[in-house]
Amino acid sequence: MSGSPIWHPFTQHGLEVRIPTIVRTEGAALYTADGRRVIDAISSWWVTTHGHSHPGIMAAIRETAETLDQIIFAGWTHPPAEAVAEGLRALMPPELTRIFFSDSGSTAVEVALKMALGYWLHRGEPRDRIVVMEHSYHGDTIGAMSVGARGVFNRAYAPLLFDVATIPFPAADSEQQTLDALERHCRRGAAAFIVEPLVLGAGGMLMYPASVLAEMRRICAAHGVLFIADEVMTAWGRTGTLLACAQAGVVPDILCLSKGLTGGAVPLAVTMAAEPIYAAHYADDRARMFFHSSSYTANPIACAAAAANLAIWREEPVLDRVAALSGMQGRHLASIAEMSGVSNPRQSGTIVALDLETPNTGYLSELGPRLQTQFVERDILLRPLGNTLYVMPPYCIGSDDLDRIFDAIGEAIRVTR
């Protein structure tokens, strides 16, 4: 073993993978130390929305860094956090009245789960059963892993995880099985149901229709079960609308946001809650306060980036850009879908995905790393989920870069047949 002492995430260093060094980012591209321009076809793990190093967001970061660094947020506040809170209240469904800051998608989910359990405890009818969907992924902290799919991702940590109730993924022509299973668990007095709306990301970019999402919300409401929408990946235009839930006319009781919250520039997350969730913790008894925080809660510099992102959403035609990109992606997907060896081509907004037919499927399929290497050699950042290929670029990407991405995908399919 030699070289950098860094232990990279989701990287098997024993395979001697070559790790490029990025020295600059701009728009839809990453620039390496050896002078290459790499197209970021997956928004650097789904975070970059408007493009890398967006001038407005970078300016807000610089300006705030000259006056504010981290301050304690327990019992204190600052203008960037207030700006984000007010901006979210104006942009998100009005039923979501309270904003709790954290640091990542995983922590946003942890906060949501703790809010849900605290809600039932303080109402005097403690419920502790969480319902989840098969193949879901909600993060890598303990609570988030507990409500995600069990398998290679978390097998080593099984003793730490709590039990959940699982409903099947609503595959085509089997949606009623999913709804019936949710109904059964809700009838038994579940505390909450957590779901990725419309698209299950790390589970393989699995997609299901808005009508199913709407019916799942209806079932939860009918039984008083809290509905938690994990929109860490699906929000901020990824599925074609500001929130994926909007396509189903759904407002969750608790909403998890991160990734695109700052345009992807710096880490920040929020968990938004309906007023009854907050009210259940509101009292003159300190033992009923919400016991969660981190040292960097509502970091002012990160909040400044988020406030700048919200201004972009208010002032610029972001959804028009999303619609244009979705159209271009759809045309490319239609062409790729005609190739032999391709199955289940699918799209939700700016996310397109397809499966490559291979004897070994799933996340650990050897096809994934082999394809990833091919794409890197062509200066394209694509990271297949096993035999599933997906494209999820920043909204600023040009047609020439998209052509290069899908040309590379077409070539990879031909080579692997």
What digits encode the pLDDT tens for the residues 386-414?
Answer: 999 999 999 999 999 999 999 999 999 98
Cα distance between residue 129 and residue 338, in whole Å: 44
Predicted pLDDT of residue 153 = 84
Closest to 311 measured CA to CA, from 94, 103, 90, 105: 90
pLDDT per position as a tens digit, 24-64:
999 999 999 999 999 999 999 999 999 999 999 999 999 99
Cα distance between residue 348 and residue 238, in whole Å: 8
Predicted pLDDT of residue 401 = 98
Closest to 410 measured CA to CA, from 386, 380, 366, 385: 380
Amino acid at 358: T
Residues 260, 284 contacting (CB under 8 angstroms): no
Averaged pLDDT, 89-97: 98
The verdict on pTM exceeding 0.95 is yes
Q: What's the CA angle centered on 148, arms 121 and 198, to 5 degrees? A: 100
Distance in angstroms between the alpha carbons of the first and the last residue of the chain: 35
Q: Is 221 exposed, middle or buried (0-12, 13-18, 19+ CB in 10 A)?
A: middle
pLDDT per position as a tens digit, 117-170:
999 999 999 899 999 999 999 999 999 999 999 988 899 999 999 999 999 999
Domains and CATH numbers, the chain: 57-315 (3.40.640.10), 318-416 (3.90.1150.10)
Q: Is 22 exposed, middle or buried (0-12, 13-18, 19+ CB in 10 A)?
A: middle
Lowest mean pLDDT among 58-62, 177-181, 273-277, 383-387: 383-387
Provide the mean pLDDT of the chain: 96
Q: What percent of the chain has pLDDT over 90?
A: 91
Q: With 70 as the cut, is the pLDDT of residue 2 above it? A: no
Cα distance between residue 353 and residue 338, in whole Å: 14
Instruction: Give me the residue label for tokens 């809010």.
Output: 115
Amino acid at 240: G
- Residue bearing the bigger pLDDT, 365 or 230: 230
Cα distance between residue 108 and residue 115, in whole Å: 10
